[in-house]
Amino acid sequence: MQPYELTLADAAEAIRTGRLSPVELVDSVLERIEQVQPRLGAYVSVTADRARHAARRAADEIAAAGARGPLHGIPAALKDLIDVAGTATSASSRVREGHRAPGDSTVAARLSAAGAVFVGKTHTHEFAYGLTTPQTANAWDRGRVAGGSSGGSAVAVAARAATFALGTDTGGSIRVPAALNGVVGLKPTYGLVPRHGVTSLSWSLDHVGPITRTVEDAALVLGALAGHDPRDPASVAAPPADHRPGPGTDLTGLRVGVPGNYYFDHVDPDVEASVRRAIARLAELGARLVDVEIPMTRYIRPTHWGLMVPEASAYHERTLRAVPELYSADVRVLLEAGELMTAGDHLRAQRARTLLRQAWLDMMDTVDVIAAPTVPITAVAAGQTAVTWHDGTVESVSDAYVRLSAPANVTGVPALTVPVGLDPQGLPIGMQLMGRPFGEAAVLRAGHAYERTGTAGGLTPAA
């Protein structure tokens, strides 16, 4: 096994015990990037010299005083919305040409303090306003979409071209590409991870979180990211928590909600079958399955769009007027459409979110976790714009991908995607686990227990 193939937890243990140095690990990952980048296009930029320098520094620190934690010397990729001092934050857009970040984002600073080594910036759908990341190919099939908007981060992790990565999630942008590329993605509770220094799409819906190979790895990264920062007005001072799941797989006492509506409507049969098998596996591990009804479903999409669209247009107001030609056509149309929405529309969406959130919390009084598909279909062919369901209903690809993930953004609850198998075309399928606010521990416990059964672990793309 090559060092780049190690999970974060395994690499950290190898570094801690002296069986592997950060220099060897970073060199291995950089070599892997050279192999796969021409085919997959996960990275906007690769900072090889900077990474090698940081790896040597980490090796010296560990030799002198031991590893300061599990991220010390571990190679990480950052979605190119996340500021790192002195480097470009391009947002995969011509609008940001010549940009240099004046300082570190909070999450970059926290990862640096934990000893992580940044190997590069990964592609996003332009300014995170899309669900495909067209610059990047799916790690399993280069003719299919990577998912978005954190497509570069998900593909880098899936292709073993980063030990872990950070993404952002406004309507599913961590979970969608993670599911489509067979890796783990975690959207934490709104406000748990600060967003200072992260380019915004929609300030009231944006989240930052990890994309990793395993649930254990996601918990390790979350431990370094979580915590209050007054520079983010939405940041909360949550009670200290150890999010690491235990070593066992016993889920006795955990109540898992199974939706009777919405989450299994208009879902590919292969996706539904894989997710229902995974839910049955949770029951075999001791969880108690509870039927739940998702509330106010007719309001989910209009509320999400009523919040996201005008907030995105407000953020881009000046540059949209100054250099509209520098935006890609799909993003420019969305930004211009957002300027047509009234303040009343935005206020009504905020009121609807309050009602949705309360109804969701009431529903979750009876369960600890809700289990459902992450996305209703696996990765579609690049260029495909719509999907036709068995009843003749036609849905755009972007609407299909965001439909099952947006509720967790509107309500702010934590949501994890874990791989649960492959469809007949050999493409990954993801199961989404959603919890109560600041209920990451229960979500991670369920995902980790499922993962450790080996029923879908170790998915590796051909890339």
Q: Say what the pLDDT of residue 459 is.
A: 65
Instruction: Residue 131: name the closest of 102, 101, 170, 182 by CA.
Output: 170
| pLDDT, tens digit (0-9, with 9 covering 90-100), for 176-193 | 999 999 999 999 999 999
Assess whether pLDDT exceeds 70 at residue 33: yes
SS3 state at 203: coil
Q: Say what the pLDDT of residue 238 is.
A: 78
Q: Say what the pLDDT of residue 348 is.
A: 97
| pLDDT, tens digit (0-9, with 9 covering 90-100), for 335-387 | 999 999 999 999 999 999 999 999 999 999 999 999 999 999 999 999 999 99
* CA dist., res. 323 & res. 363, Å (int): 46
Residues noted as catalytic:
79, 149, 173
Assess whether pLDDT exceeds 70 at residue 439: yes
Instruction: Residue 164: name the closest of 248, 245, 73 by CA.
Output: 73
DSSP state of 379: P
* CA dist., res. 207 & res. 199, Å (int): 11
Strand partners of residue 29: none
* Percent of the chain topping pLDDT 90: 95
pTM, two decimals, is: 0.97
Q: Which helix (H) or strand (E) holds 396?
A: strand 394-396
| pLDDT, tens digit (0-9, with 9 covering 90-100), for 376-415 | 999 999 999 999 999 999 999 999 999 999 999 999 999 9
Helices first, then strands: H and E counts in the chain: 15, 13
Q: What is the arrangement of strands in the sheet containing 255-259, beginning at the earlier edge strand?
A: 43-46, 117-122, 75-79, 164-169, 207-212, 184-187, 415-422, 428-435, 369-373, 255-259, 288-292
The alpha carbon of 28 is separated from its chain's Cα centroid by a whole number of angstroms, namely 24
Strand partners of residue 209: 167
Is residue 458 very low, low, confident or very high in pLDDT (cuts 50, 70, 90)? Answer: low
Q: Say what the pLDDT of residue 255 is.
A: 98
Q: Which CATH number fits domain 3-452: 3.30.1360.200, 3.90.1300.10, 3.30.70.1280, 3.40.605.10?
A: 3.90.1300.10
What is the torsional sign of CA 194, 200, 206, 212? Answer: negative
* CA dist., res. 372 & res. 37, Å (int): 33
**Domain ranges (residues) in the chain:** 3-452
* C-alpha triplet 231, 233, 238: angle, nearest 5°: 95
Averaged pLDDT for residues 38-59: 98
